[in-house]
Amino acid sequence: MIGILIAVLVANAAWSIATESRIEWDIIGKYLFSEQIFNGMKMTLLLTVIAMVMGVLLGIVLAVMWLSPNPVASSVAWFYIWVFRGTPVIVQLLFWGFLGAIYPHLSIGVPFGGPEFFGGSANDLIPPFVAAIFGLGFNEAAYMAEIVRAGISSVDEGQEEAAAALGMKRIQTIRRIVLPQAMRVIIPPTGNETISMLKTTSLVLVIPVSDLLYQATLIYSRNYKTIELLIVVSLWYLFFTSILTIVQYYIERHYSRGTKRNQPPSKIEFFVKHFWPHRSPREEGGPPMPGPGSRQLGG
């Protein structure tokens, strides 16, 4: 009964949106595959990939530092995570975007008046695209550090003790023994973080960077079709988050093979089994299947 009620409500909402005369669907169709929207989508995907790679790699380093017996390393990792998890990502993006207001000139060299090896204007060294990568990547690293730390902690300590007995160094133990076993715990939340990152890239509008939402705002600032362009943006986000969800599902199945003896069929296997029209061996031209009372050769 509840399922029928939900289906009716969803169908009613979908029909209401589809038949709303004030929504110009021809405008949506016009801009859905426009070059300007495509350019924004490519920038969104590029930001997502680079920021996630940066966040995962730095997150692994921070997690190892946090679990390190070295008090300095663990304190630095804890402070980093505390700062970047405790402040909004949009504030961090604005900070990197306007860093030149605090440090007009950035340089690398010997402190206290020593020689400078590399330097330049902050606005030249950190353009909006780089500021977006720093803001998204450094923020993501704090969350990935927590995820990786939880995955490492889920591995039995006996694994590390056995590796140490074999003479393996701590880094070798983590890379070859601990991380491969921790992946089944790390992968699900990492997939969620990737999907979340795809949508979080829309915040780079404030710097600004010409991502999908920024390109849409440029269009509706000219033609005043705000709702239609926002629907276009939503459709593209739904499309790519659906793809990422499917990829995450199969990656999780891959890493859970060692923990589940009999895995349930995948979504594709379930669909083929229940909805794809099967043909009998006789229809395929093969030999007929033996009946319950028939005798097989060699029986």
Maximal CA-CA distance, the chain: 96
Q: What backbone phi and psi angles, to 5 degrees, belong to 121?
A: -65, 140
Q: Which domains does the chain have, with CATH numbers?
A: 43-106+118-259 (1.10.3720.10)
Both tokens of residue 135? Answer: 């803001």
Q: pLDDT band at residue 294, thresholds of 50, 70 and 90?
A: very low
Q: Residue 5's CB: how many other CB atoms inside 10 A?
A: 9
- 3-state SS of 148-185? HHHHHHCCCHHHHHHHHHCCCCHHHHHHHHHHHHHHHH
Q: Are strands 116-121 and 105-109 parallel, antiparallel or unpaired?
A: antiparallel
* Residue closest to 31 by CA, chosen among 209, 201, 226, 241: 226
Both tokens of residue 266? Answer: 């995948």
Taking a C-beta distance cutoff of 8 angstroms, is the pair 120, 105 a contact? yes
pLDDT in tens, 7-18: 888 888 777 777
Taking a C-beta distance cutoff of 8 angstroms, is the pair 241, 197 a contact? no
Amino acid in position 274? H
Q: Which residues contact 101 (CB under 8 A, 6 or more apart)?
A: none
pLDDT in tens, 151-165: 888 888 787 778 888
Taking a C-beta distance cutoff of 8 angstroms, is the pair 36, 220 a contact? no
Q: What backbone phi and psi angles, to 5 degrees, belong to 181?
A: -80, -25
Q: What backbone phi and psi angles, to 5 degrees, belong to 120?
A: 170, 180
Identify which has the larger pLDDT, 262 or 101. Answer: 101
pLDDT in tens, 237-254: 999 999 999 998 888 887
pLDDT in tens, 133-151: 999 999 999 999 999 999 8
pLDDT at 228: 92
